[in-house]
Structure 1
Amino acid sequence: MPTDELITEEDYSRFREAMRVVQAELLSGLDSENDRKRILEIVDFRESFTSESDRGAALMAAAYLDETLSGLLRKKLVDDAKVADKAFVFNGPLGTFSSRIDFCYLLGIIPANARGDLHRIRKIRNGFAHVAGPISFENQDIRSQCDHLNFHGVNAKASPGARFRRSVMGLLGLIIFRSKDAGHLERMEDYTMPDGRGIVEFVAKVFEEKTGKEYPLRDHFD
């Protein structure tokens, strides 16, 4: 197939129409309405994401992955929304993208290479966010982070922006897959302290034999 011909907007239009047909066929095969909504949400994200500027893509991707990780964690943690809400506020233990990445890994719901890529995407986001002037994926520091991403599935010829965008979609697919299988950890029953009066009686007896005085803490256990 020739590769040196100019690809026109009409070519892209035909391609997009063909993909919409494929998408409709795939969605019709899903039994769950929630699954269909989730897939459509991802499709909408991808369309917006791919049309963004480099800076916009980095900020959008990190925010969406962060939100998706939060959803995964909420599905895995004990089902107590009131306590979970406190954990996910900004100054809570799960209030940052970084903490959510690491906690998902420590719970065993994402692998080490996903943890590494998510942290790289977080650093790429920060790289864009902390520069006021023009900046792109060709920036040396950002390109270096993109070169170490793993979830893109492309070779070294791909641009850093392509590696980034493909890695984001790969990670998103993994997180959504893990979310579907995730179940809440069981809530532990309240712990009942064992009756310690026998031990207290023994201690009191020794105390009273050795001192000739009443054990001072006896009334704490009567």
Structure 2
Amino acid sequence: MTTTVYQFIQKQHAEFTAFHQALTNESDRGCALFAAAFLDKALSDLLYLSLVADKRIEKDLFEGTAPLSSFSARIKLAFYLGKISKECRADLDTIRRIRNEFAHHAELISFDDQSIAGRCRNLQFSYHERTQQPRSHFTAAVSRILAMLQATGLSSVAPLVKPDDRPTETEKAEARAQAELAIQDLAKSFSSKTEAIPNASVKGASCGKPQDASYPED
């Protein structure tokens, strides 16, 4: 293991420890918002490490109204890239919804509110018994998912930019020649079919009624 990687792991461990301590000290609202923001950032880092390296990646994908600017979009792409399981995706979506409950209600709410407590106890990444406090379920699931996202990011290998695959001038000339031959063959085929039509059948055509046909009087 190189020194750079070792230092990176140390930094992540320090951040994780500080994160866990912050969750303990925060209010219920602060805990929910801070945890979701940290997971959102961890997902962003994971995806960043899993995609082609390009200087425009942040602007194209992660900033402002870009496709991966939201927590929800990052969860979905991480799942479809095979970076998280279906169960982890479900827990992340639950954490996102809990975050929204706290963020969108001005009145004082807590993890003990019925709708939030039920969601916390259903988090699959919590190791607690269901009788434990809802906030304990929430922080346990968040910490476990965060550790998993960071570990997955370390093992991710970004794909290389696809090499230039534009056709050469020689290939373009060959393609033009092949197209010209195809047009010539089509023209010859059409001409031979036209010449094969008997002249008699053309001369015999008329707009009136055939002479040997009998029609009832009007």
TM-score range, shorter chain: 0.7 to 0.9
CA deviation vs aligned residue, 1:91-134 (integer Å, no higher than 9, x gap):
11111000001101111111111111111000000011111011
Q: Paired residue for 1:141?
A: 115
Which structure exhibits the higher relative contact order, with contacts defined as CA atoms closer than 8 Å and separated by 6 or more residues? 2
Give how far 1:159 is off: 1.1
Seen in structure 2, the aligned counterparts of structure 1 residues 141 and 81 have a Cα distance that, compared at 3 Å, is farther
Q: Is 1:184 the counterpart of 2:165 in the alignment?
A: no
Q: How far apart, CA to CA, are the structure 1 residues paired with 2:45 and 2:120?
A: 26
Residue range with higher mean Cα deviation, 101-110 or 141-150: 141-150
How many pairs were matched up?
A: 182
C-alpha separation in 2, matches of 1:55 and 1:44: 18
Matching of residue 155 in structure 1 with residue 134 in structure 2: no
Report 1:3-152 matches (<5 A).
32-152=6-126
Which of 127, 145, 152 is the matching residue for 1:171?
145
The residue matched to 2:129 in structure 1 has which SS? coil
Rg larger for: 2
Structure 1, unaligned runs of 5 or more: 1-30, 212-222
Q: Give runs of ≥4 in structure 1 deviating > 3 Å.
A: 206-211
- Scaled by the length of structure 1, the TM-score of the pair is 0.77
The aligned counterpart of 1:202 is 181
Give how far 1:190 is off. Answer: 2.1
- Bigger Cα displacement from structure 2, 71-80 vs 201-210: 201-210
CA–CA separation in structure 2 for the residues paired with 1:151 and 1:61: 14
TM-score between both structures, scaled by the size of structure 2: 0.78
CA contact (8 A) 1:149 1:163 kept: yes
- Counterpart CA distance in 1 for 2:130 and 2:119 is 14
Using the TM superposition, name which of 145-154 and 125-134 deviates more.
145-154
CA displacement at 1:41 relative to structure 2: 1.2
What are structure 2's unaligned runs of at least 5 residues? 192-218
Query: What's the % identity of the aligned pairs?
Result: 33
Residues in 1 aligned to 2:11 and 2:162: alpha-carbon distance in whole angstroms: 34
CA distance in 1, matches of 2:57, 2:15: 28
